[in-house]
Amino acid sequence: MRTAYSVETVRNAERELMARLPEGALMQRAAAGLAAVCAGLLRDLLGRVYGARVVLLVGSGDNGGDALYAGARLARRGASVTVVPLAPGRTHEGGLTALLGAGGRVAGADDPYAVLAAADLVLDGITGIGGHGGLRPDAVPVARAARGSGAVVVAVDLPSGVEADSGEVTGEALRADVTVTFGTYKPGLLIDPAREHAGAVRLVDIGLAPHLPSVPGLEALQHEDVARLLPVPTGESDKYRRGVVGVVAGSPRYPGAAVLAVAGALRGGAGAVRYVGPGGDAVIARFPETLVHEGPPSKAGRVQAWAVGPGLGDALGDGSGPEAAVADVLASDVPVLVDADGLRLLDAETVRGRTAPTLLTPHAGEAAALLGVARPEVESGRLTAVRELAARYGATVLLKGSTTLVADPDPAVPVRVNPTGTPWLATAGSGDVLSGLSGSLLAAGLPARDAASVAAYLHGLSARLAARNAPLVSDEVAENLPEAWRNVVG
């Protein structure tokens, strides 16, 4: 499991650890790890550290101190290191002394752009966990020049300008190729839009782990976690014991949604799939193993979980049709996933009153409608939005997007962020596959948060396997799910 902790938690842990160590030891650990990563990058780039041109962008705090001490280490190995101070007069004193003592120099007020243009590597030590509110105006042109210089840009702890706790970017932020972070990941390194600014993230151990609480603020499943959570049939399992998932999807206008949701459901570990709706012919033509029903879901036979919503179309307004199907499913006493059109048709009070788990799977636009806010508000503040939705609806919520998040209705339970996403997944119908897949995992007995996060993981991995850097269609995401599953269980 990859875990991230809030700034407040990191600061508390650092205080505890620092009390046991000699003054400045922690910063030296951070700087040593940072210098080692930079040296590796320079060797990859130039074959050597000696003679490399390194520029340090240094703000007023300890983030700048890390950059300066790391710069001193590189200077001692023969790199030519120049500091661009962004808060002149407030530069970390010990770090600056160390750098100058190792042969580094400070750029003149008029030549930061010339040194940046010639740099091989730029270290961004403007702000770390003490920064708020985007880059300040004087830092903006410098950060842009660093990005435009052709140098490798390495952020110290966090890309300057991003919000560490939420992943929000409220103004302009530096874009790094690599971020070297200390002690633990911070939420912003895993959640967009900040995550996009971080590039490849490297974690340097500074001995913080024993001082961090056991429950993180945010967590990301890894292969071994998913392998542990996936349902495995035993010798005792028949199709009913493995779980039957009911899929309520599709309409005369959108029959494809039914096929894609069933495609996902068939590959999610349930023993059988019941399809309810007007797309039965299309479903059977493609997947003859599906149990097909018309009429209300509650009359279709027993299921262990429902997935309702993809392609249902609009409400008829007379209480029949898709809104009746959604209400019927929500009245059941088994776990229910609601997606897409189902999210518009659900009754909030009914969802809050359910005793069995409910899983809502909106994209940003649907989440905005459920919350009554504008879509950009959800996109820029994904963590806040997913937590708020889960609390308001008393449901588990999977918020789809470039970094899919899963929140539990209990705010003490860490939000999960999916690490396997790919921009290629932004394609019509991919959400329908995810609905079926998540519903199937619910039917196989996974708790809602696990079902949602395991489904997002497999779905993203499958898309990556299928896309291999070329456009893909949703059908291929479903087709590659068994390959993703095998990839995870090894």
Question: Does residue 78 have a known ligand-binding role?
Answer: no
- Residue 134: CB minimum distance to ligand NPW, A: 6
Q: Residue 194 binds which entry of K ion, ligand NPW, none, with Cβ cut-offs from 5 to 8 Å by kind? A: none
**SS3 assignment for the chain:** CEEECCHHHHHHHHHHHHCCCCCCHHHHHHHHHHHHHHHHHHHHHHCCCCCCEEEEEECCCHHHHHHHHHHHHHHHCCCEEEEEECCCCCCCHHHHHHHHHCCCEECCCCCHHHHHHCCCEEEEECCCCCCCCCCCCCHHHHHHHHHHCCCEEEEECCCCCCCCCCCCCCCCCCCCCEEEEECCECHHHCCCCHHHHHCEEEEECCCCHHHCCCCCCEEECCHHHHHHHCCCCCCCCCCCCCCEEEEECCCCCCHHHHHHHHHHHHCCCCCEEEEECCCHHHHHHHCCCCEEECCCHHHCCCCCEEEECCCCCCCCCCCCHHHHHHHHHHCCCCCEEEECHHHHHCCHHHHHHCCCCEEEECCHHHHHHHHCCCHHHHHHCHHHHHHHHHHHHCCEEEECCCCCEEECCCCCCCEEECCCCCHHHCCCCHHHHHHHHHHHHHHCCCCHHHHHHHHHHHHHHHHHHHHCCCCCCHHHHHHCHHHHHHHHHC
The rounded distance, in Å, linking the Cα atoms of 3 and 297 is: 40
Question: Does residue 313 have a known ligand-binding role?
Answer: no
Identified binder of K ion from the candidate list 14, 62, 66, 124, rule CB under 5 A:
124
Q: State yes or no: residue 301 binds ligand NPW (CB under 6 A).
A: no
Q: State yes or no: residue 63 binds ligand NPW (CB under 6 A).
A: yes
Q: State yes or no: residue 160 binds K ion (CB under 5 A).
A: yes
* Bridge partner list, 245: 273, 305
Question: Does residue 401 have a known ligand-binding role?
Answer: yes
Question: Does residue 160 have a known ligand-binding role?
Answer: yes
Q: Residue 313 binds which entry of ligand NPW, K ion, none, with Cβ cut-offs from 5 to 8 Å by kind? A: none
Q: Residue 401 binds which entry of ligand NPW, K ion, none, with Cβ cut-offs from 5 to 8 Å by kind? A: none
Q: State yes or no: residue 456 binds ligand NPW (CB under 6 A).
A: no
Site for ligand NPW in 65-84 (CB under 6 A): 66
Identified binder of ligand NPW from the candidate list 124, 157, 366, 408, rule CB under 6 A:
157
- Residue 77: CB minimum distance to ligand NPW, A: 20
- Residue 434: CB minimum distance to ligand NPW, A: 36
Q: Residue 5 binds which entry of K ion, ligand NPW, none, with Cβ cut-offs from 5 to 8 Å by kind? A: none
Q: State yes or no: residue 133 binds ligand NPW (CB under 6 A).
A: yes
Q: State yes or no: residue 168 binds ligand NPW (CB under 6 A).
A: no
Stretch that binds ligand NPW, among 75-83, 126-134, 213-221, 284-292 (CB under 6 A): 126-134
Q: State yes or no: residue 156 binds K ion (CB under 5 A).
A: yes
Identified binder of K ion from the candidate list 155, 364, 383, 390, rule CB under 5 A:
155
Q: Residue 124 binds which entry of ligand NPW, K ion, none, with Cβ cut-offs from 5 to 8 Å by kind? A: K ion
- Residue 164: CB minimum distance to K ion, A: 10
Site for ligand NPW in 86-105 (CB under 6 A): none
Cβ nearer to K ion, comparing 84 with 156 = 156
Nearest residue to the partner ligand NPW, using Cβ: 128
Question: Does residue 64 have a known ligand-binding role?
Answer: yes
Question: Does residue 130 have a known ligand-binding role?
Answer: yes
Q: In the complex, which residues of this chain contact ligand NPW (CB under 6 A)? A: 14, 18, 26-27, 30, 59-64, 66, 126-136, 139, 156-157, 182, 206
List residues forming the annotated binding site for (6S)-NADPHX.
62-66, 128-134, 157, 257, 311, 363, 432
List residues forming the annotated binding site.
62-66, 124, 128-134, 157, 160, 257, 311, 363, 400-404, 431-432
List residues forming the annotated binding site for AMP.
400-404, 431
